[in-house]
Amino acid sequence: MNYVLKNLPVRTEKPRNTGFTMAMDKGLSLRETEDFVESCSDYVDIVKLGWATSFVTKKLKEKIAVYREAGIPVYFGGTLFEAFIVRGQFDDYRKVLDTYGLEYAEVSDGSISLNHEKKCEFISTLAQQVTVLSEVGSKDAAKIIPPYKWIEQMQTELNAGAWKVIGEAREGGNVGLFRDSGEVRQGLVEEILTQVPEERIIWEAPQKSQQVWFIKLLGANVNLGNISPSEVIPLETIRLGLRGDTFDHFLGEIKL
Amino acid sequence: MNYVLKNLPVRTEKPRNTGFTMAMDKGLSLRETEDFVESCSDYVDIVKLGWATSFVTKKLKEKIAVYREAGIPVYFGGTLFEAFIVRGQFDDYRKVLDTYGLEYAEVSDGSISLNHEKKCEFISTLAQQVTVLSEVGSKDAAKIIPPYKWIEQMQTELNAGAWKVIGEAREGGNVGLFRDSGEVRQGLVEEILTQVPEERIIWEAPQKSQQVWFIKLLGANVNLGNISPSEVIPLETIRLGLRGDTFDHFLGEIKL
Amino acid sequence: MNYVLKNLPVRTEKPRNTGFTMAMDKGLSLRETEDFVESCSDYVDIVKLGWATSFVTKKLKEKIAVYREAGIPVYFGGTLFEAFIVRGQFDDYRKVLDTYGLEYAEVSDGSISLNHEKKCEFISTLAQQVTVLSEVGSKDAAKIIPPYKWIEQMQTELNAGAWKVIGEAREGGNVGLFRDSGEVRQGLVEEILTQVPEERIIWEAPQKSQQVWFIKLLGANVNLGNISPSEVIPLETIRLGLRGDTFDHFLGEIKL
């Protein structure tokens, strides 16, 4: 770091299993990607090319290469998986992953209805090819999944071969784990945590107040996702208790 | 595109008359403009230099040249036209258009009171020099224009020589076509469409929910405007049914 | 400027004492900083590296050098000062300022409880080393400071050696000078202005509606702060009456 501040929360280091930040790139140009990597590669553990933006992104191979050279794995958003599945193009999807040399993939059913057994089969099959992140939660605000179902699905998907499970929030942070207003479904999160190991979960938390909530509940090294590139540095300061929002929270830990 | 997905909505191609995206640049630097053009030139049909930002933009000629080389016409926001008119500097305005080699211009009365006959005269005069976009709707949330007036003004302005008419929304998307809350004035839009040909209208729709609403109503190839540079790629995926918001909408068209 | 518009409000020029814009950089990469400076150096008077983002910013010295070469002084956000103070590292803080060659520093107590006499001592001490900006107002929305206290603190801090005092708003613009909703505490601002010279105050005003409010109250050349880099050009147009929001306001001054 640029100077010494005593008694900061201890952050995990790369490669991280906890304290993991997944950033969402929704169409950065090549040069913007280089800029992002230059300033944030220490703080970003994996990048999602949001939903199916990879379909219309120019110089996609070059972009993936920029991330790869910085040691940051890239994966396509789950909506892309769903777009292939709904068209009966699963084999094509698998070939696309190979064409772009991807080592991670997301399996989700946020926009389609997928029998859960079938979803787990996709996870198992893909897990032979790549590291699988699976996502739980609908993008449809009207589809409320009760906590016991979240837990059951998360556990089954991890058993099927998912490396980590992702709690859905979208880019906006107003579905899945969150209410319309962006407020956390607190009871849901706490119930999930009684049954699923924390390090196996990535919480999508695009809004600052959501990041703060999770950091206050689970500490500096909670796994967070859907972080906008321009919010990666701010998030790092929140994890370290160096922004107003968590400044007090970590002071108790300081022995002055 | 980067891979093959079957049965996508068919997008029009450049030069587009429908399915048109007008992006709003409110002060990109030269290098940011280059980045934008590199990633989005296929998806952007015209760029507006928002309101009078061109007045304080550095390297304006170079910026316009970057867009020109990418085949993207540029025009100054209507507020600039109004700033010249209110000062009695119409002739100066016409010279400025020539100085910058612009081939498009906007005529609007969002911030000034302009007799409608006079507005149409400006349209006619400018149409001899450039391609004219004219804008209907006030920037003042308190000035509610009834639907029949919108229609009458749009028709008269097209007759006066406007190439297309723009439905006002501002950068925020909370006036003109929209309520304070950003909600679409649905009845207004539908009534306009009974009288004005869809391909002659550009709907300003800066918010995602507004873009989604128009795409659901009018399909992938609706003309949309005031799109932020960073939202051009996301918009393109919404048009293609490749984001959660319109994923379902286009599925009915897929023959699986 | 790029063309001539008659009868614009007259803007002050650099080095400005009024009409001052303080921008907040919360983690721009080096190239983004270069871009920002290229397009905005005439309009930005000072840059704050927001709260403690400087701790995790890569190439910090190079970034500060880019600003310095453009004639823009840089200072670290007040939260960083507080992070050093709360750890008993004031001397370390002073050394850090020297290490980075900074000529400005902020003293604040937005996240810590600091006896006001002690705060003024910090101001006096630092004022021997650098030019001090001091900030009044809590980051905690629940801590409402009555107007007479704001005034008393501002006056005492200026007497202690602060060059200017800053009215707190955070990046969001929803505390301190503003209500939760972002609405200005109008009575507070007006009362402050009866006692503290306007040119000694920088009003943090990150939201457009807040900037507009201050410009309508105090004119084109009010001192504003916490402006996002991408909003510096828009703000300049608002100051000049060249955006819808203040278009009417300055028209009264035009002699046509």
Contact C87 A5 (CB under 8 A): yes
Which residues in A have their CB inside 8 Å of a CB on C?
A: 1-7, 31, 34-36, 38-40, 42-43, 230, 232-234, 236-237, 240, 242-244, 247-248, 251, 254, 256
Report the alpha-carbon distance of residue C192 to residue A164 in Å, rounded.
54
Subunits with at least 3 CB pairs below 8 A relative to chain B?
A, C
Question: Taking CA atoms, what residue in C is nearest to B63?
Answer: C39
Q: What is the pLDDT of residue B17?
A: 94
Binned at pLDDT 50, 70 and 90, residue B151 comes out as very high
Crossing angle for the helix pair B90-99 and B78-86, to the nearest 10 degrees: 140
Contact between residue B143 and residue B128 where contact means Cβ atoms under 8 Å apart: no
Tell me what pLDDT residue A140 has.
86
Shortest CA gap C198–chain B (Å) = 26
| Domain membership flag for residue C71 | yes
pLDDT tier at A254, thresholds 50, 70, 90? low
Range of the domain at B116: 21-251
pLDDT at residue A256, rounded to an integer: 46
A104 to A130, A134, A204: CA distances (angstroms): 5, 11, 17
The minimal CB distance from C87 to the residues A6, A35, A240 is found for: A6
| Chain A residues near any Cβ of chain B (below 8 Å) | 26-32, 50-60, 79-80, 82-84, 86-89, 92, 96, 99, 110-112, 139, 170
- Asked if the structure places residue C64 within a domain, the reply is yes
- Which amino acid, one-letter code, is at A228? S
Residue A141 pLDDT class (50, 70, 90 cuts): confident
Q: Is residue C14 part of a domain?
A: no
In a domain, C231, yes or no: yes
CA distance C244 to chain B (A): 6
Q: What is residue A142's predicted lDDT score, i.e. its pLDDT?
A: 86
Reference C165, options C179, C153, C148; nearest CA is C153
Chain C residues whose beta carbon lies within 8 Å of the beta carbon of residue B79? 242-244, 247
Burial class (CB in 10 A: 0-12, 13-18, 19+), A199: middle
Q: Verify whether the Cβ–Cβ distance B92 to C254 is below 8 Å.
A: no
On whether residue A189 sits in a domain, the answer given is yes
List pLDDT tens digits, range A211-235.
Answer: 999 999 999 999 999 999 999 999 9
**Are C237 and B52 inside 8 Å of each other by CB?**
yes
d(CA B55, CA A110): 45
CB-CB neighbors (< 8 A) of C254 in chain B: 86-87
Give me the pLDDT at residue B71, please.
97
Q: What's the whole-number mean pLDDT along residues B68-95?
A: 98
Q: Which of A4, A36, A242 has its CB closest to that of C51? A: A242
pLDDT tens string A159-216: 999 999 999 999 999 999 999 999 999 999 999 999 999 999 999 999 999 999 999 9
SS3 B68: helix
Chain A residues touching C105 at Cβ < 8 A: none
C37: domain CATH number is: 3.20.20.70
Question: Residue C51 and residue A243: Cβ atoms within 8 Å?
Answer: yes
* pLDDT at site B256: 47
Kindly state whether residue C132 falls inside one of the protein's structural domains.
yes
pLDDT at residue C256, as a whole number: 47
Q: What is the distance between the alpha carbons of residues A117 and C58, in angstroms, rounded to a whole number? A: 46
Number of domains in chain A: 1
B193-242 pLDDT, tens digit each: 999 999 999 999 999 999 999 999 999 999 999 999 999 999 999 999 99
User: Is the torsion defined by CA of B242, B245, B250, B251 positive or negative?
Assistant: positive
Residue in C closest to B27 by C-alpha: C233
| Site from C30, C31, C233, C246 to mutate, B interface, most B CB atoms within 10 angstroms | C233
> Looking at CA atoms only, how far is residue A13 from chain C in angstroms?
14
Q: Is the pLDDT of residue A253 over 70?
A: no
Tell me phi and psi for residue A227, to 5 degrees: -85, 130
Residue contact B112–C247, C-beta within 8 A: yes
Distances (CA, A) of B52 to A31, A245, C1, C81: 28, 37, 12, 39
Q: Does residue A59 form part of some domain? A: yes
Which of C29, C50, C57 comes nearest A2 by C-beta?
Answer: C57
Closest-CA residue of chain B to C242: B52
**Quick check: C27 and A243 CB within 8 A?**
no
List the single range of A156-160, B252-256, C220-224 with lowest mean pLDDT. B252-256
The reply to whether A184 falls in a domain is yes
Query: Counting one residue from A and one from C, how many pairs have CB atoms under 8 Å apart?
Result: 90
pLDDT score of B41: 97
Instruction: Read off the pLDDT band of B12 (50, 70, 90).
Output: very high
Asked whether the beta carbons of C4 and B92 are under 8 A apart, the reply is: yes
User: pLDDT in tens for each of the 256 residues of chain C?
Assistant: 899 999 999 999 999 999 999 999 999 999 999 999 999 999 999 999 999 999 999 999 999 999 999 999 999 999 999 999 999 999 999 999 999 999 999 999 999 999 999 999 999 999 999 999 999 998 888 888 999 999 999 999 999 999 999 999 999 999 999 999 999 999 999 999 999 999 999 999 999 999 999 999 999 999 999 999 999 999 999 999 999 999 999 987 555 4
CA–CA dist B197, B187 (Å, integer): 16
Amino acid identity of residue B95, one-letter, is K
Q: What band does A50 get if pLDDT is binned at 50, 70 and 90?
A: very high
Q: How far is C74 from chain B (nearest CA, A)?
A: 21
